[in-house]
Chains A and B, each alone.
Chain A
Amino acid sequence: MSAESLQEVLASARLLVTCGPGGVGKTTTAAALGLSAAAAGRRVVVVTIDPARRLADALGVDAASSNQPHLVADAVKGPGSFSALMLDAERTFDDLIRERAGAAAEQLLNNRVYRGIAGSMAGAQEYMAIERLHQLHHSGEFDLVVIDTPPSRHAIDVLKAPDRLVLFLSHPIYRALTMPSRSLARITNAASNAFLWTVKRLAGPKIVEEIVEFFRSLSGMEAGLRTRAAEMSALLRDEQTAFVLVSSPRAEAIDEATFLAEALAEGGFHLGGVVINMVHPQPPPLSVALVGALADGTLVGPLAEQVGYHAELAALADAERVELQTLVALAGDAAVREVPLLDHDVHDVAALHELGSLLIGD
């Protein structure tokens, strides 16, 4: 496969997933890439599932408007459009239950085990993120869905969520718990017995009843969940789905990005590009005379501080360029883009446009 620029990826992908370590500007990168695609005429929605809600800061989406695409007015000119969505996993889960569980829905929605899982269990959050993505992808309202994943290792959990759900549904304990039977006593499967006994000893009998009730109610939805999980798994590996790995040039971020890149390759996901954010700009060089004067101590006063700062920044920029070679090697055929550490924070649409042109420009 030949190298594709980020611009080409943005023009052709239907789904774009950004992933990377925490604190490297992943959310702003996702938003800026989406905005660039919108500026090029596509209808784009950017979804964030980061509980830190960084995109909300940048785009004015708030908890009240969560889970629905919010058109960012006047973000782009021309035929394209740019929307943002802050994911509410719990609401997605509730909607899914209402849609699929039929008569059992209300009971299930009030089940404490369900409430606990929908509200806080990591796996459920991630599964629901993909579910919402799938809905947006098939809504016909958008040409491109951009999703920003939570930092690092948790990103892989998101991607594996559909596969994990299928595994969970195939688990012998789950199978035993959802077998039609009139009472708890009828459950004879040793594994599920031991499981329930463990929970009972640790957390009390009340929760056991609710667990059984929860799994029973879920069983009516099983076929639908399985089909959907398989579709989502295929969508994530589709050739029109591109992953963009975002990192900074700091060693610990690069280590995490390396881990992610390997996990993506292993999972059969398509790497569409690597963005190295927050690279210190390489300043224009100073004359040897001035640098020498600082080194031998003949330069004093305010200029010494200025030259010293220049030297520090130049050395840091050099050292970062050495570190980021690891990522360049890792990218293989995928496009690599360096973005300088800007001298300001990105938190409005104008700054996102600027970042976008740094990401795709020449």
Chain B
Amino acid sequence: MQPDWITASRVVLVAGKGGVGSSTAAAALAVLGARSGLDVLLVAVDGKPGLGPLLGGSPLTATEQVLRRKRGGGRVRARSITPQQAFADYLDLKGFGGILRRAASAASLDLVAASTPGMEHLLVLGKIKELDRTKAADLIVVDAPPAGHAAPFLRSARALQEVVANGPVRQQADEVAEMLADPSRAQALLVTLPEETPVNELIELAGEVELDLGLALAPLVINSCWAQRPALSLAAVTAARRSEVVLTAADKRALQFTNRFGNARMAVQHEQLARLAAALPLPRIVLPRLPTPRLLPEHLELLADAMGVVPS
């Protein structure tokens, strides 16, 4: 029914450079999980309220909403987690009250976070670790901050381990690092486009994530790939002859224009995918380029179909 990698860990952290569609990929994975009968919790950590409407719901908030129900009991629940919420939850969990509770109000979190680098990220990851520990869902899909910010986010636990020798923050950092390094609990789903800079950044991010954190890599997701259209490489007149049509001069020019454009973009895609394969020989999932500037909930079903194809 579904590819094995989806159930390899409870937590899947979805990350990629800004604009490559990692949030879309996270949403498609959530839909795929629900179709497979899983209870899925989609978590946005970068203030991307738009994920809610994409799944046919309202903008995401800290309050969980159920966005999709599928036959067989699968569903998609979604919420956001901000450092402020994670901090409040953490204090509740640890039973802190009174003066610490007041001191740690949202206003002073900024200062605590400023003085303890990586603290905000750690609080969010710590909350995700709690969700994993309490088995809050069968599959927890995390829409991580975009690359440039993804690496510091994922590395925050390691960074804090270096600065903080003991106390609850250290314990939290240790527990988060342990979760990230355990492939049966967490894996990273890295997303890119078949273009030069996004491919470069994916290669960089994959190295950081796997080597520094020991975080297992799920298949790579290549978003927005042009479909193979072998006929575009034929001259318009040749194609017309084979299709037994005679072209007007204007039609010929129009088709030459789009054929040339399609072939050039396809050449870039081939070149970049080959480069990626050489640098990162991992299984990959190819998501189609959808011919629309505005993604709608029905498009997400198409992307979930593609996400469910066994990676190759």
Given contacts A123-B114, A194-B99, A345-B268, contact A23 B257 (CB under 8 A): no
Given contacts A252-B295, A283-B258, contact A171 B111 (CB under 8 A): yes
Q: Which residues of B contact A284 (CB under 8 A)?
A: 250, 253-254, 257
Q: State which residues 75-110 of B face A: CB under 8 Å.
A: 96, 99-100, 102-104, 108
Judging by beta carbons under 8 Å apart, are B248 and A309 in contact? no
Judging by beta carbons under 8 Å apart, are A319 and B293 in contact? yes
Name A211's contact: one of B20, B108, B115 (CB within 8 Å).
Answer: B115
Q: Which residues of B contact A207 (CB under 8 A)?
A: 115-116, 163-164
Given contacts A286-B254, A305-B229, A309-B262, contact A22 B17 (CB under 8 A): yes
Judging by beta carbons under 8 Å apart, are A112 and B163 in contact? yes
Give the Cβ gap from B20 to chain A, nearest Cβ, in Å. 6
Q: Which residues of A contact B183 (CB under 8 A)?
A: none
Kindly state the separation between the CA atoms of A198 and B109 in the bound complex, as whole angstroms. 10
Name A120's contact: one of B159, B165, B197, B232 (CB within 8 Å).
Answer: B159
Judging by beta carbons under 8 Å apart, are B293 and A250 in contact? yes
Kindly state the separation between the CA atoms of A306 and B237 in the bound complex, as whole angstroms. 11
Chain A positions 289 through 318: 1 when the CB is less than 8 Å from some CB of chain B, otherwise 0 = 010010000011111111101101101100
Kindly state the separation between the CA atoms of A42 and B248 in the bound complex, as whole angstroms. 49
Judging by beta carbons under 8 Å apart, are B197 and A306 in contact? no
Interface of A: prevailing SS: helix
Judging by beta carbons under 8 Å apart, are B117 and A120 in contact? yes
Q: In the complex, how many residues of chain A place their beta carbon closer than 8 angstroms to a beta carbon of chain B?
A: 77
Kindly state the separation between the CA atoms of A320 and B264 in the bound complex, as whole angstroms. 21
Given contacts A119-B117, A319-B292, contact A23 B19 (CB under 8 A): yes
Chain A positions 196 through 218: 1 when the CB is less than 8 Å from some CB of chain B, otherwise 0 = 01111111101100010010000
Given contacts A116-B163, A283-B254, contact A299 B118 (CB under 8 A): no
Given contacts A201-B100, A204-B164, A344-B264, contact A310 B258 (CB under 8 A): yes
Judging by beta carbons under 8 Å apart, are B112 and A310 in contact? no
Q: Which residues of B contact A304 (CB under 8 A)?
A: 231, 243
Chain A to chain B contacts (Cβ below 8 Å), 23 pairs? A50-B148, A52-B147, A52-B201, A117-B117, A120-B118, A151-B148, A152-B18, A195-B103, A195-B111, A199-B112, A207-B163, A252-B295, A283-B257, A283-B261, A284-B250, A293-B245, A301-B239, A304-B243, A305-B231, A309-B229, A309-B259, A319-B294, A344-B268
Name A121's contact: one of B117, B253, B258 (CB within 8 Å).
Answer: B117
Kindly state the separation between the CA atoms of A113 and B111 in the bound complex, as whole angstroms. 12
Kindly state the separation between the CA atoms of A151 and B234 in the bound complex, as whole angstroms. 40
B312 CB within 8 Å of chain A: no
A153 CB within 8 Å of chain B: yes
A54 CB within 8 Å of chain B: yes
Considering the complex, give the chain B residue whose CB is closest to the CB of A305: B231
Give the Cβ gap from B136 to chain A, nearest Cβ, in Å. 24
Chain B positions 134 through 171: 1 when the CB is less than 8 Å from some CB of chain A, otherwise 0 = 00000000000011110010000001000111111110
Name A173's contact: one of B17, B111, B168 (CB within 8 Å).
Answer: B111
Judging by beta carbons under 8 Å apart, are A316 and B170 in contact? no
Chain B contact patch, size range: 35 or more
Q: Which residues of A contact B193 (CB under 8 A)?
A: 23
Q: State which residues 7-26 of A face B: CB under 8 Å.
A: 21-24
Judging by beta carbons under 8 Å apart, are A203 and B170 in contact? yes
Kindly state the separation between the CA atoms of A168 and B164 in the bound complex, as whole angstroms. 24
Give the Cβ gap from A112 to chain B, nearest Cβ, in Å. 6
Kindly state the separation between the CA atoms of A168 and B47 in the bound complex, as whole angstroms. 24
Judging by beta carbons under 8 Å apart, are B168 and A116 in contact? no
Kindly state the separation between the CA atoms of A91 and B115 in the bound complex, as whole angstroms. 19
Q: State which residues 273-294 of A face B: CB under 8 Å.
A: 281, 283-287, 290, 293
Give the Cβ gap from B264 to chain A, nearest Cβ, in Å. 3
Q: Which residues of B contact A316 (CB under 8 A)?
A: 291-293
B181 CB within 8 Å of chain A: no
Kindly state the separation between the CA atoms of A286 and B249 in the bound complex, as whole angstroms. 10
Kindly state the separation between the CA atoms of A320 and B293 in the bound complex, as whole angstroms. 6
Give the Cβ gap from B249 to chain A, nearest Cβ, in Å. 10
Q: Which residues of A contact B167 (CB under 8 A)?
A: 200-204
